[in-house]
Amino acid sequence: MKIAIVGTGAMGSVYAALLADAGHEVWAIDVWPEHIQAIETSGLRVEGASGDRTVKGIHATSTLSDAGLCDLYIIATKASGVEAAARAVAPLMGPGSLVLTIQNGLGAGEHIAEHMPTENVLLGVAEGFGASMKGPGHAHHNAMKLIRIGEMGGGESDRLDRLVEVWRGAGFDVAAFANIDQLIWEKFVCNVTFSGPCTVFNATIGEIMAQGAWWEIALGCAREPYALGVALGIPFGFDDPDAYVTAFGARMPGARPSMLLDHMSHRRSEIDAINGMVGTLGRKHGIATPYNDVISAVVRARETEFA
């Protein structure tokens, strides 16, 4: 299969290396020139949860059109880059091309829909999956649990099953789900609980949970998207958001959410797609979201200092 990974930061680099190592023709697309050059000249190294390997033969470029027609386009950018990625992918696709987007937060599918029909669009959720960049051409795979994939319009399909087998053949634990929206919302509740609060208090997940006042704020952040989801008819697999996010956080107490890692590196985060999205949806549907509004305001204020 010919696969273009649009956005080969930490997560995208893991996808690219493992899929290429499994024998697929992989194109790594990224705006970081040194990263692209390192992949081209020395290969892409990924170490950590999936082993230690350096994969050569990956095509690396900053221009997506160099990849041309592909069987699969994986959009692995930050949330803010999804729309630009979709705009670049749209003219290259063929009738059988698939687009798979894997992001934190909400809204990726809607942004893609602004630039292409969504019949060939699939959505993914990465659970317990972390990675970080150690340098150009070198990613560290921190953890890998489950990647969940589903048709944007819901339901089951043969192509969805085939795509699951592609990922599974590359060493990923992956499964197809008929209602991917439910899973996206369930992860969204967890993202909201920890991303903004950990960033504001410069704390790991375990540190947030251990500090009473901080944890009450984080739980307030969790309850708001849960209430929104219920109002919108999302069929959550739980009815106690406090217990759900507590169990989630207890599995990774030493972790730092990607939003906090962005701030530690003085990079702008995905605040608008995570905690900020709660406020956006709350105003749209007449549901108050004070915890997430305050957390988002603090994060955005700090980001005015970043380039």
Rounded Cα–Cα distance for residues 207 and 263 (Å): 17
Give the pLDDT confidence of 42-58 residue by residue, as tens digits: 999 999 988 999 999 99
What is the per-residue pLDDT for 192? Answer: 97
Q: Summarize the confidence of residues 257-263 as an average pLDDT.
A: 92
On the 0-12 / 13-18 / 19+ scale of CB atoms within 10 A, 94 is: exposed
Rounded Cα–Cα distance for residues 215 and 86 (Å): 37
What is the per-residue pLDDT for 128? Answer: 73
What is the per-residue pLDDT for 49? Answer: 87
Ramachandran region, residue 149 (left: φ > 0; alpha: ψ -120 to 50; beta: rest)? beta
Reply yes or no on whether the pLDDT at 130 is more than 80. no
Q: Cα separations (Å) of 275 from 165, 268, 293?
A: 33, 14, 8
What is the per-residue pLDDT for 80? Answer: 85
- pLDDT: is 143 or 89 the higher one? 89
Q: Summarize the confidence of residues 239-267 as an average pLDDT.
A: 93
Backbone angles phi, psi at 296, to 5 degrees: -65, -40
What is the per-residue pLDDT for 35? Answer: 98
Strands 138-143 and 25-29 turn out to be unpaired
Reply yes or no on whether the pLDDT at 36 is more than 90. yes
Residue 7: how many CB atoms within 10 A of its CB?
A: 25
Least confident of 17-26, 181-190, 295-304: 181-190
- Please state, rounded to an integer, the average pLDDT across all residues of the chain: 94
Nearest to 281 by CA among 215, 226, 199: 226
Reply yes or no on whether the pLDDT at 307 is more than 80. no
Give the pLDDT confidence of 63-107 residue by residue, as tens digits: 999 999 999 999 999 888 999 999 999 999 999 999 999 988 888
